[in-house]
A and B are shown apart, each in its own frame.
Chain A
Amino acid sequence: MNTNHIEKKIQLKAPVARVWRALTNHKEFGTWFHVALKKPFVAGKATSGRLTYPDFKHPITFMVRKIEPMTYFAYAWHPYAIEEGVDYSKEEPTLVEFRLKENPKGTLLTVTETGFDKVPAARRAEAFKMHKGGWKAQLDNIAGYVATA
Chain B
Amino acid sequence: MSQRRSFPGGNQAPAFAALGDTTRLRLIGRLCLGGPLSISELAQGSRLTRQAITKHLRVLQGACLVESARHGRQTLFTFSPSPIVGLRQYLDRVSRQWDDRLGRLKAFVESDPGSGTS
Contacts and interface: CB of A to CB of B under 8 A. Distances in A.
Interface stretch (A10-18, A38-46, A61-69, A84-92): A10-18
Interface stretch (B51-59, B67-75, B83-91): B83-91
Nearest to A20: B116
Contact of A16 (B26, B85, B92, B116): B116
Interface in B86-115: 86-95, 98-99, 101-102, 104-110, 112-115
A139 B85 CA distance: 15
B82 interface: yes
Nearest to A23: B105
A101 interface: no
A57 interface: no
Contact of B98 (A8, A23, A125): A8
Interface string A105-127: 01001010100110101011111
Contacts of A33: 101, 104-105
Contact of A128 (B1, B82, B105): B82
Interface residues of B, number: 43
Given A1-B10, A146-B22, A6 B94 contact: yes
Given A33-B101, A126-B90, A139-B32, A146 B117 contact: no
Contact of A109 (B28, B79, B102): B102
A149 B23 CA distance: 11
Contact of B26 (A79, A109, A147): A147
Contact of A142 (B4, B25, B117): B25
Majority secondary structure, A binding face: helix
- What 4 A-B pairs are tightest by C-beta distance, nearest first? A143-B29, A18-B116, A17-B116, A128-B86
Contacts of B85: 128, 131
Contacts of A136: 32-33
A121 B90 CA distance: 10
Contact of A125 (B33, B82, B105, B113): B82
Given A1-B88, A6-B98, A18-B109, A142 B29 contact: yes
A33 B108 CA distance: 10
Interface string A130-149: 01100110011011001101
A67 to B, nearest CB: 17
A127 B89 contact: yes
Interface in B42-56: none
A36 interface: no
